[in-house]
Amino acid sequence: MPDVTITVRPNGSLKVEGPFRLLDGAGQEIALPPDKPVISLCRCGHSQNKPFCDGSHRQINFQAP
Residues that bind ligand FES (CB under 6 A): 12-13, 42-44, 46-47, 53-57
Q: Which is nearer to ligand FES, 16 or 55 (CB)?
A: 55
CB of 20 to ligand FES, least distance (A): 18
Say if CB 4 and CB 18 are below 8 A apart: yes
Q: Least separation, in Å, of the C-beta of 1 and ligand FES?
A: 27
Angstrom distance (rounded) from CA 21 to CA 30: 8
Measured from the CB atom, the residue of 16 and 54 that comes closer to ligand FES is: 54
